[in-house]
Amino acid sequence: MEKLTTLRFDGKCRKCGKSIPKGNRAFWHGKRNGISHYPRCDVTETPRPVPSERVTILDWGTIKEAYLSLIAGTKSASDYVKRSHNKKVLSNYVERWKSGDKSWTGATDEEMKSWLHAGFHVPGIENANPDLEPLRERRKLKFSEEGELQLDLALSGFDYPFLEWERRARKPGMRLDIGVCFNANTDASVIAQYERWIAQAITTLEESGYDLEVNLAGQVRDSWTNNPGNEKTLIRVKRENEASDFAEWSALFSPGGFRHLMFLAMILAAEINGQDISGSLGSAYGMDWKVAMDESERTLRIDNPNGPRDFPEAEMIGKFLATIHKTD
């Protein structure tokens, strides 16, 4: 969208590169897109490349250990980041986490420590969603040479006097990348509804026989000060062929999970990539509620908009089931 305006300062045309002195009329294309000549110059604008999504993966154990050590004071920011700017940003966040003021961070450091040690109870997770039943037939009992002895069959000379449950075939492994990145104005109740549904969806897939790798994703734009673009920080909470207790990493779904734990992960990700993190940590860039399967990578991606007003549960259930049934 462009707007015709009178320049208050000297500028440069984004199309032809020539200067436009202040006081002249020019088209303004938005804060990030600059200005261009009025009347239009003859040069055709070269399309700007869409920034790629830069992905960094950190293990949940690393984030948990770092947070608890920083809060306890047994380690400092310099133990985790070496770049002076990142030390300053991390130190400032540690002070904010320890301030006891949870009006913006969502939780106190004491609450977060409790949830990290004992787990966070996601409200409503114990109430099974009837629309998210396991996606396979129930197991059946069958006669067998071993299992639970049926005395009447044994006494009658039946060749297979035992009953056992049919074994369920394991399904191929699947990776889950789940967006959990919201702007500061998102109502906490909306986030809670979404996170409860996510927990139920994970349970559905596990009970359906899928061996999962689970990653929670913070997706932000321009969080690296000198290298603008889209950054995706993944916290890997479960690997394939690994048993996982939801309570172990449920603190990520707590009121302070995003602004305590995911923020810490974003800072560490910038350090790993040799970048300085923005003090604001950038801005969430999700645009819509999405469920999609990348078959080539066997990855199910669930995305959230950056500032939703509500959680469309019925719509997301439909997208989720349609995607999984198509995959099966």
Amino acid at 138: R
Say whether both 190 and 268 belong to one domain: yes
Residue 119 lies in a domain: yes
Residue 43 lies in a domain: no
3-class DSSP assignment, residue 95: helix
Residue 267: which domain range? 53-131+171-327
What value does the mean pLDDT take over residues 280-285? 86
Say whether both 26 and 59 belong to one domain: no
pLDDT given for residue 149 in this prediction: 54
Say whether both 157 and 259 belong to one domain: no
Residue 42 lies in a domain: no
Residue 198 lies in a domain: yes
Percent of the chain past pLDDT 70, that is, above it, reads 79
Amino acid at 146: E
In the chain, the number of structural domains is 3
Between the alpha carbon of residue 10 and those of residues 2, 13, 20, 24, the distances in Å are: 18, 10, 6, 9
Residue 44 lies in a domain: no
Say whether both 295 and 193 belong to one domain: yes
Which of the four pLDDT bands, split at 50, 70 and 90, describes residue 45? very low
Query: Under a CB-based contact definition with an 8 Å cutoff, are residues 54 and 232 in contact?
Result: yes
CA 250 to CA 195: how far, in whole Å?
10
Residue 33 lies in a domain: yes
Say whether both 302 and 160 belong to one domain: no
Say whether both 298 and 195 belong to one domain: yes
Say whether both 216 and 282 belong to one domain: yes
Say whether both 193 and 156 belong to one domain: no
Say whether both 112 and 196 belong to one domain: yes
pTM check: above 0.85: no
Residue 148 lies in a domain: yes
Across the chain, mean pLDDT equals: 82
The pLDDT tens digits for 91-132 are 999 999 999 988 888 899 999 999 999 998 876 655 556 566
Say whether both 161 and 294 belong to one domain: no
- Look up residue 103 and give its DSSP letter: T
pLDDT given for residue 126 in this prediction: 58
